[in-house]
């Protein structure tokens, strides 16, 4: 009895046997830190590429916007400059025309000094432009031309009934003729003014067409 009890007590202190746990993995242990670093590096590269692409796109959009603004400013500047250029062209044309008229005036005066017969032709043309009439006429001439014209008119019938008046106001080479009903201004100034009117009038007609 005592032996049986002792055996039972000894059995109660024993634990059941079990198979030891064996890991099913094989090979070298995994380096978790190296794997994490490679993953972080890939993420950094991906983030860099994405940031670079985004920055490039933003930069191109900003550059295009600035370029468009510059082009708009350039267009406005060219439009602004085109108007003054037109005004300058017109001003230059007027200046050239005035210069041509002044040159013509100087040439006429020089020709008058060289050829005294010019004033005779002017007087005859002025007398011929008057309507036929028996009214007496007054012929205003420069004192420098009076003698020459008087001699020429004495040799022609066109001087009949014409009174020559030496007028210092009349420049050499021209004349003024007046009667009770008619008047002709054939002074040099008047002739040049007529030329000027034809020149500028021709320009205006050309512009209107």
pLDDT (average), residues 164-190: 88
d(CA 78, CA 76): 5
Of 183 and 201, the structure prediction assigns the larger pLDDT to: 183
State how beta strands 175-178 and 183-186 pair: antiparallel
The topology under which CATH files domain 95-208 is: hypothetical protein PF0899 fold (3.30.2320)
Contact between 191 and 174 under an 8 Å Cβ cutoff? The reply is: yes
Task: Indicate the pairing of strand 137-141 with strand 162-166.
Answer: parallel
pLDDT at residue number 81:
64
Tell me the per-residue pLDDT of 59-99, one tens digit each, with 9 for 90 and over: 677 777 777 787 777 777 767 666 666 666 777 777 777 77
What's the distance, CA 152 to chain centroid?
A: 58
Question: Which residue ranges make up each domain of the chain?
Answer: 95-208
Q: Which two tokens stand for residue 20?
A: 């030891």
Strand ranges, E, within the chain? 137-141, 162-166, 175-178, 183-186
- Reported as a pLDDT band with limits 50, 70 and 90, residue 204 is very low
What's the first-to-final CA gap in the chain, in angstroms? Answer: 150
Quote the pLDDT of residue 190. 86
pLDDT tens digits for 27-40? Answer: 445 566 677 777 77
Lowest-confidence segment of 4-13, 14-23, 34-43, 60-69 by average pLDDT: 4-13
Residues 112-141: tens digit of each pLDDT: 666 667 888 888 888 888 877 667 888 999
Residue 56, helix vs strand vs coil: helix
Q: Is the pLDDT of residue 6 over 50?
A: no
pLDDT at 119: 84
Half-sphere exposure of residue 91: CA atoms within 13 angstroms, side-chain side: 6
Bridge partners (DSSP) listed for residue 178: 138, 183
Gap between the Cα atoms of 199 and 128, Å rounded: 26
The angle formed by the CA atoms of residues 128, 129 and 134, to the nearest 5 degrees, is 65
Q: Which residue has the tokens 């007398």?
A: 127
Most confident of 44-58, 161-175, 189-203: 161-175
Rounded Cα gap, residues 196 and 209, in angstroms: 20
8-state DSSP, 159: G
Give me the sign of the Cα torsion angle 84, 85, 88, 94. Answer: negative
């Amino acid at each position: 009895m005592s032996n049986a009890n002792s055996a039972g007590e000894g059995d109660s202190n024993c634990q059941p046997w079990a198979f030891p746990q064996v890991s099913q993995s094989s090979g070298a242990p995994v380096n978790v830190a190296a794997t994490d670093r490679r993953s972080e590096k890939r993420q950094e590269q991906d983030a860099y590429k994405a940031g670079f692409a985004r920055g490039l796109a933003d930069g191109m959009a900003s550059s295009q916007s600035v370029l468009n603004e510059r082009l708009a400013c350039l267009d406005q500047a060219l439009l602004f400059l085109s108007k003054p250029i037109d005004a300058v062209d017109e001003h230059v044309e007027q200046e050239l025309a005035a210069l041509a008229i002044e040159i013509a005036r100087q040439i006429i005066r020089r020709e008058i000094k060289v050829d005294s017969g010019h004033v005779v032709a002017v007087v005859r043309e002025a007398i011929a432009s008057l309507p036929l009439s028996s009214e007496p006429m007054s012929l205003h001439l420069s004192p420098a031309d009076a003698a020459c014209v008087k001699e020429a008119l004495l040799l022609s019938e066109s001087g009949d009934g014409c009174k020559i008046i030496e007028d210092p106001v009349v420049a050499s080479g021209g004349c003024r003729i007046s009667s009770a009903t008619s008047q002709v201004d054939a002074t040099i100034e008047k002739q040049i003014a007529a030329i000027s009117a034809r020149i500028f009038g021709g320009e205006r007609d050309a512009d209107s067409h």
